[in-house]
Structures are given as structure tokens and as C-alpha cells.
Amino acid sequence: MPPIEDYPPTRRRRGAWILGIALFALAGCRGCGCEAPAPAIEADDAAQAPDLALAQQMGPDAVERAITEGLRAVARRDTATAIARFEAAAAADPGRRVPHQRLCGLYRQADRTADALRACRAWRELETEPDFQSRADAIIEELRGRGPAKRP
């Protein structure tokens, strides 16, 4: 089998690579012999909304944990917890792309147009990959056309 460098980069392979990283983060390290445990989610933490003062005091490990918990909440389809975790991570480390990217999609899903527009703009400013920049631009244009969310 030829080395990986001989294959041309494609969006499909990048997507598979990102999915592999996400699954690794969700499951923890297994099979390599390092026996690193997956981060635990405590039931009491999952039910609480993020406190801005606490989020600003979070260290890099806590930000990583909030992102991991947010990804797990997305996998469980627990939108409220996922939003809370990614909001905490974004408040603690505003220069980080991933929380804003995830919040963009979660706010759209929750029909929170103004919040989605704010998160998508933050994601667009932080994104360095041209394909994702154009995706963020398309979402922002869609949200501008949508206007404020309609309430029943």
C-alpha cells in the first residue's frame, strides 16, 4: 500500500479524518496501550448552565473538557447541554474556532437566528480553511435572509 502522502487530498478524506478525531475524543484513547480514560461527564454538571465568571476562569484542560462534553451532548441529541458546554468553552477561550462553529449549527437547529448569526460570524473570522470559510459565508447569507426567528 502506498504511503498516505501519495494520495491526493480530498474533502472526503478530510471529513473522515475529522470524524476519526471526534470519535477518538468521544471514546477516549483505546487500543494503543496508554490506558488513558475518557473524560467523565457528571450528571450534576450536565444540568447546569454555564456561569460566565466561571467560564472565564477555565484553564485549557477545562476548555477541552467542555468541548468534549459538548460533542457528547450532540451525539446524545441533547441540544440544550451541548449549547451550554460550547457557550462555556467560547466564553473561556474566544479565540478558539470549534466552539463557535458548533454553536453556529446548534443555534440554527434551535431556531435562534440572532445567536446563530453571531456565532457564525465569530467562526468565519477564526476559520483558516477556505472550504469552511465559504461554508460559513453561505450560512451567514442564509441567516441574513431568514430574519428574526418566528415565535408561535
- Enumerate residue ranges in the chain where pLDDT < 50: 11-12, 23, 26-51, 149-152
Q: Which domain holds residue 77?
A: 58-152
Average pLDDT, the chain: 74
Longest dimension (CA), the chain: 58
Give a yes or no: residue 48 inside a domain. no
The pLDDT of residue 121 is 95
| C-alpha span between 89 and 66 (Å, rounded) | 6
Write down the pTM of the prediction: 0.60
Total residues found in the chain within this entry: 152
CATH number at 108 reads 1.25.40.10
Give a yes or no: residue 44 inside a domain. no
Give a yes or no: residue 100 inside a domain. yes
CB contact set of 35 (below 8 Å; sequence gap of 6+): 29
